[in-house]
Structure 1
Amino acid sequence: MEKFTLEILFQIIGIGSASGLFYNNDALYIIGDNSGFLYEYNMQNQQLNQHALIDNPTQNIPKNLKPDFESLTHHNDTLYVFGSGSTENRNKMIEFDIKNKNVLQKNNLVDLYAVMQNFGSIKPEDFNLEGAVFDGENWYLFNRGNGVSNKNTIFTIHAKSLGDEFALVATNYKLPKIKGIRSSFTDAVLVEDKIYFLSTVENTKSTYDDGEILGSFIGRIDLKTMKIDFTQKITSTNKFEGLTFYKKENNKIEFLLCEDNDTELLETKIFKLTLPIK
């Protein structure tokens, strides 16, 4: 692949452990896996607002109690925020109206997650959703294969609403390795008929405990074939967990990225990744 560029665009004080983001009209919506808020950062005036997603939210919820919001997707004016499903209190999916700035609905996906685990032959301790895409007709939920079984799986759910009857497809992927350790899905975004995804390498066999960070990749999947077009290593030091489309021009495509720093420090760096369009 031709040369990519990765740069720090800016830093936001007040958000820690960023795990997902969505860019829309100079506003950057961000979730953190240890927070009960959806953050809204205006990139023009650098103002940060926060919107409660759960009752009695705080910015640093203890690890054993946190809802673990790991993925964020949107359709029309609704944001969908997903818990990872990696423990019993991480099964929430919140629908948020970005026009009126309010929570539309809170959903418990414990039954759906159980069906997905059974269908995909993924043990509960290896189930850890960290990416979500919704195109209005289909949901694509990404299981991060950082457990013992290394199950990097995309679940395709054919349904307009996750409360409807649905057809389910599970597609498994072997992602690239660093130092012999396979990378695992951490986020994804739909751009036209392609899914761009992040995967990262952490030296751990647990979906719960963090490990040494060894690097991250960007990759692309063709929506028609569900096969990987390419993967590209973009860092040896960052655990990127959030990806959103920024702009496309002059045969280049730009994304905004955020990283989970695995600390209680309330600051988040936003990176810009520029790729040539292949």
Structure 2
Amino acid sequence: MLIQPAISLLREQLLSDFPSGSALAFTEGRLYLTGDDARELRILDTRYRTAGSVTLFSHPQYRIPKPEKADLESAVVMKHKQAVYLAAFGSASLDTRRQIVLVPLPLRTSDHPVIYSRYADDFLEHLGQHLHDVNIEGATMFKTRLIFANRGHEDNPHNTLIYARPDCWNAMEQDIPFIQSLKLPDNSRGFCGVSDLCYISARDILLLTFTTEATTSTYDDGIIGDSYLGIVREFSKKSRQETLTVDEMINLPAVSPVFAGQKIEGICLEKVRSEGLLLHLVADNDAGDSRLFTINAVL
């Protein structure tokens, strides 16, 4: 029997001291938050209280200016060489945004971790040969692969998923990424650009966030419209299809008016419960702060 999706808002909180929230990852009771022009990685507990931070970039300004920022738009927890890292990926929409930042986990309040920077130039050069615009906005782990979400815009209205090895900066010639087109159902209004991914292995569900934004490039911001939660069921069976069709799109402002005008940029799973999926979302409204949401999703 097909479950009728139901979303309920459990918590909402403004972070006025952290700019431009763009990605969330969760592990071991902690949320890891990046911002596309933020200087630090913020560590939070599940009630959104600050539990620590890590300086990623040394810059005199609170918000790194747009031409200079690394534009970290996606983050995952991943294993690499027998260690666990928080990996944050730049959008790669400009040369200054090709950086990948690796932060070793777990972090304790007394830690001063060594931050590793990587550049996946060969991987990105290959993508540039197959995509009109490279603009990586989301990421998730799927079994042994890393999936990136590449966002389109009004002049290039094509969203794609990119399947790659997790350490894509070490990609060899034979490691050709698989590129999959995304098709959205008809109930989304206007062009919706994908903004993040979250694969839930216990349910074999891929969740995607989408936003409408009036922009015709990968660089300029535009008027923020609605945000959506997309659902792909039985994802494992569909992961090698040339085109992936999103089964359902849930308009988040229709769930609660607090989502109106909020550009949802990141999503992560905290827990699979009998009453639903406990999820966290982060929004960037382009005004210099971030807003966090806890939702329960019966899918």
Do the two structures share a fold, i.e. TM-score over 0.5? yes
Give the counterpart of 2:55 among 43, 47, 52. Answer: 52
Structure 1 residue 190: Cα displacement: 1.6
Give the counterpart of 2:33 among 30, 33, 49. Answer: 30
Rounded Cα–Cα distance in structure 1 between residues aligned with 2:213 and 2:186: 10
CA contact (8 A) 1:177 1:201 kept: no
Partner of 1:107: 118
CA contact (8 A) 2:127 2:134 kept: no
Pair 1:145-2:139 in alignment: no
Report the CA distance shift for 1:203/1:45 in structure 2 as closer, same or farther (over 3 A). closer
Residues 3-36 of structure 1, C-alpha deviations (whole Å, 9 max, x = no match): 3213543333421110001122332110000113
Rounded Cα–Cα distance in structure 2 between residues aligned with 1:57 and 1:223: 45
CA contact (8 A) 1:220 1:229 kept: yes
Give the counterpart of 1:244 among 256, 263, 268. Answer: 268
Partner of 1:233: 251
Partner of 1:269: 291
Report the CA distance shift for 1:224/1:178 in structure 2 as closer, same or farther (over 3 A). closer
Structure 1 residue 160: Cα displacement: 4.7
Residues 162-209 of structure 1, C-alpha deviations (whole Å, 9 max, x = no match): 103213111111335788521011011121032211011112212111
Give the counterpart of 2:68 among 65, 68, 80. Answer: 65
Query: 2:177 corresponds to which letter in structure 1?
Result: L
TM-score for both structures, normalised by structure 2: 0.82
Partner of 2:211: 200
Give SS of 1:49's match: strand
Pair 1:134-2:141 in alignment: yes
Query: 1:72 corresponds to which letter in structure 2?
Result: A
Partner of 1:174: 183
More strand by share: 1
Report the CA distance shift for 1:177/1:271 in structure 2 as closer, same or farther (over 3 A). farther
Query: 1:229 corresponds to which letter in structure 2?
Result: D
Give SS of 1:4's match: strand
Query: 1:214 corresponds to which letter in structure 2?
Result: G
Q: Which structure 1 residue ranges, 5 or more long, are not aligned? A: none
Report the CA distance shift for 1:45/1:245 in structure 2 as closer, same or farther (over 3 A). closer
Tell me which stretches of 4 or more aligned residues in structure 1 moved more than 4 Å. Answer: 55-58, 176-180
Report the CA distance shift for 1:164/1:136 in structure 2 as closer, same or farther (over 3 A). farther
Aligned sequence identity (%): 24
Rounded Cα–Cα distance in structure 1 between residues aligned with 2:188 and 2:150: 22
Give SS of 1:181's match: coil
Query: 2:31 corresponds to which letter in structure 1?
Result: L
Residues 41-81 of structure 1, C-alpha deviations (whole Å, 9 max, x = no match): 23469234221223447531011111100000112421110
CA contact (8 A) 2:193 2:212 kept: yes
Rounded Cα–Cα distance in structure 2 between residues aligned with 1:61 and 1:176: 37
Residues paired across the two proteins, number: 270
Give SS of 1:40's match: strand
Give SS of 2:96's match: coil
Rounded Cα–Cα distance in structure 1 between residues aligned with 2:24 and 2:48: 18
Structure 1 residue 94: Cα displacement: 1.0
Partner of 1:20: 23
Report the CA distance shift for 1:243/1:160 in structure 2 as closer, same or farther (over 3 A). closer
More helix by share: 2
Q: Which structure 2 residue ranges, 5 or more long, are not aligned? A: 254-259
Query: 2:238 corresponds to which letter in structure 1?
Result: T
